[in-house]
């Protein structure tokens, strides 16, 4: 029989003799850490959902702008307004059959096929110097977290914009429209 106050056996071998033995200490530490880990996992989950929506918005904006850049080549009989409507359709088709992200439908706006304000080409500079047009598509989405956090807003507005240069404009006639068939940015 051991008359010492120190414990013997497998538990005593793992702990230095200078540390006192407190039964249940690991359980308390687990309870403190588990709450923090749960919050971290929930935050990562919400961030993943928001990032997925943000990437999908970018894909939608690019699909719409890409159709706008080649729409006149794909449908030469369409006017600018018809191509702009098809740009919205192309952006929404990027989502698949239900047209929603996490159950909510994003808003697609086409800023029109505009004259590029950075274009250096001016009418009268020759046949190759027609003003460049750009197709601009903006997609917005109201993201609602599943687990709202007190003190933070209930929703976050995500938006992505894509623009591409229009490659082909069959409606361009410099004698009729020296602006190149594009609308000015201010109009």
- Which domain covers residue 56, as residue numbers? 26-165
Residue 8 belongs to a domain = no
Residue 60 belongs to a domain = yes
What are the tens digits of pLDDT across the range 36-49? 999 999 999 999 99
Residue 9 belongs to a domain = no
Residue 123 belongs to a domain = yes
Residue 149: the pLDDT is 84
Q: How far apart are CA 74 and CA 82, in angstroms?
A: 12
Residue 91 belongs to a domain = yes
Residue 14 belongs to a domain = no
What is the average pLDDT value for the chain, to the nearest integer?
80
Residue 1 belongs to a domain = no
Residue 32 belongs to a domain = yes
Residue 140: the pLDDT is 96
Is the entire prediction scored with pTM above 0.85? no
Q: How many domains does the chain have?
A: 1
What are the tens digits of pLDDT across the range 75-130? 777 777 888 899 999 999 999 888 888 889 999 998 767 777 676 666 555 545 55
Residue 163: the pLDDT is 92
């Amino acid at each position: 029989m051991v008359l010492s106050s120190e414990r013997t056996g497998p538990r005593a071998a793992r702990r230095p003799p200078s540390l006192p033995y407190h039964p249940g200490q690991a359980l308390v530490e687990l309870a403190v850490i588990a709450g923090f880990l749960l919050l971290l996992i929930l935050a990562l989950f919400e961030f993943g959902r928001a990032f997925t929506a943000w990437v999908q918005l970018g894909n939608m904006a690019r699909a719409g702008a890409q159709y706008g850049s080649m729409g006149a080549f794909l449908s030469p009989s369409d006017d600018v307004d018809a191509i702009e409507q098809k740009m919205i359709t192309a952006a929404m088709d990027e989502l698949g059959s239900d047209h929603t992200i996490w159950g909510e439908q994003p808003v697609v706006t086409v800023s029109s096929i505009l004259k590029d304000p950075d274009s250096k080409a001016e009418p009268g500079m020759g046949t190759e110097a027609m003003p460049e047009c750009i197709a601009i598509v903006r997609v917005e989405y109201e993201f609602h977290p599943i687990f709202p956090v007190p003190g933070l807003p209930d929703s976050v507005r995500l938006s992505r914009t894509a623009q591409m240069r229009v490659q082909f404009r069959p409606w361009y006639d410099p004698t009729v429209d020296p602006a190149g068939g594009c609308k000015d940015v201010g109009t």
